[in-house]
């Protein structure tokens, strides 16, 4: 057996066979490397520091919310400031059905996804009828209105106490093992979202979405069905975010609007997007992990000051990193959400 390090590759020889692994920077983009790291990290933490698994789950879920939001932003050409509304829709649907009807998590998933899709379609005309500041304000208001509704109809939503007794997604293995299973479930969800959205954003539909992003009127004039694309790219991510709400309900065994619907939770998602870089789906994974661990760090070190420090950090990042951390890597590239076309003479 022999391992040789060459300038651009590692060469491994054993029993007359030879294996090579490219180590040039261009090979570092292999997604398998990063997926392996994401899988190994929680396993290591399970043995070294099990309480960190909760933070990893939070990181995966934050990234899983930000990834469909990227599709929504590209497809509608507008930034939705109230994605947590759909978390509320999915979470309350799952919790109510689980508690009152005794439905299993599998069935609540289907219903939560359908309800999220229905709400998404019902609200998608917003992206056609309103734009700019009005769209921002309207999307910002919806989760807050929903939160008020949960307080008004306390008998249904149980106000700030929340709904208790939601059937857990996994049970009976002991706390740490359950946490590890939840970690992998959240990671799987995030990776599936990443795969789907990445495929969409590299397909021919991305070209139409990019045109809508640039100039809706011109895009419509050259044959792009702007309204159809906007409605679909609003409703499908809404459904995907509602599924995250379903996961939260079955993960915690309880669901309270006060945890997810206020602006503080939206701020976290916004920070994930800012750190990752707007409309950078891979960047959202980095952003999710960065924010989840930063939050943990702030809680441990700054204590009561952490809610103040969070927006301050966001402000600094807004000023200094316009394209986010991932944007630093991608600054030499054009938009990520375009199919790569190589046309030669």
Partner 1 sequence: MAEVLKVMNVTKNFGGLTAVDNVSFSINEGETLGLMGPNGAGKTTLVNMICGSYAVDSGKIEFRGKDIAKLPPHKRCKLGMSRTYQIARPFLELTTLNSVVVASYCGKDMSNRSLMDAASYASYCLEFVGLFSRRNILAHDLSLYEMRMLELARAIATRPKLLFIDEAMAGLNPAESLHAVKLIMRAKEHFDLTILWIEHVMSIIMEAAERILVLHYGQKIAEGTPEEIVNNKSVIEAYLGGGEYA
Footprint of partner 1 (CB under 8 A): 203-204, 207-208, 210-211, 213-215, 217-227, 334-335, 338-339, 341, 343, 345
Which CB, 9 or 202, lies closer to partner 1? 202
- C-beta of 122: minimal distance to partner 1 in Å? 22
Which CB, 77 or 88, lies closer to partner 1? 77
- C-beta of 320: minimal distance to partner 1 in Å? 22
- C-beta of 342: minimal distance to partner 1 in Å? 9
Which CB, 179 or 213, lies closer to partner 1? 213
Which CB, 319 or 341, lies closer to partner 1? 341
- C-beta of 128: minimal distance to partner 1 in Å? 12
- C-beta of 74: minimal distance to partner 1 in Å? 12
What would the two tokens of residue 140 be? 């910002």
Which CB, 102 or 223, lies closer to partner 1? 223
């Amino acid at each position: 057996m022999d391992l040789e390090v060459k300038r651009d590759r590692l060469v491994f020889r054993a029993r007359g066979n030879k294996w090579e692994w490219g180590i040039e920077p261009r090979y570092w983009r292999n997604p398998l490397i990063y997926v392996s790291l994401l899988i190994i990290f929680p396993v290591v933490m399970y043995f070294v520091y099990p309480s960190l698994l909760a933070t990893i789950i939070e990181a995966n879920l934050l990234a899983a919310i930000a990834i469909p939001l990227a599709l929504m932003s590209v497809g509608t050409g507008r930034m939705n400031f109230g994605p947590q509304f759909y978390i509320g829709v999915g979470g309350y649907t799952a919790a109510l059905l689980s508690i009152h009807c005794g439905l299993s998590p599998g069935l609540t998933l289907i219903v939560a996804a359908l309800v999220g899709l229905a709400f998404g379609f019902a609200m998608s005309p917003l992206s056609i009828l309103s734009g700019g500041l009005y769209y921002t304000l309207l999307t910002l208001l919806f989760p807050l209105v929903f939160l008020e509704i949960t307080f008004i109809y306390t008998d249904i939503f149980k106000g700030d106490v929340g709904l208790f007794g939601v059937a857990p997604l996994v049970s009976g293995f002991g706390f740490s093992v359950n946490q590890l299973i939840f970690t992998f479930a959240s990671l799987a969800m995030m990776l599936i979202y990443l795969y789907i959205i990445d495929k969409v954003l590299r397909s021919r539909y991305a070209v139409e979405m990019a045109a809508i992003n640039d100039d809706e009127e011109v895009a419509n004039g050259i044959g792009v069905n702007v309204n159809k694309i906007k409605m679909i790219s609003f409703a499908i991510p809404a459904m995907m975010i509602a599924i995250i709400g379903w996961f939260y309900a079955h993960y915690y065994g309880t669901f309270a609007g006060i945890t997810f619907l206020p602006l503080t939770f939206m701020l976290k998602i916004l920070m994930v997007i800012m750190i990752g870089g707007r409309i950078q789906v891979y960047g959202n994974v980095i952003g999710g992990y960065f924010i989840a661990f930063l939050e943990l760090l702030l809680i441990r070190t700054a204590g009561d000051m952490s809610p103040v420090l969070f927006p301050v950090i966001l402000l600094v990042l807004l000023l200094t990193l316009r394209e986010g951390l991932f944007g630093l890597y991608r600054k030499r590239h054009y938009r990520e959400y375009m199919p790569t076309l190589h046309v030669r003479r």
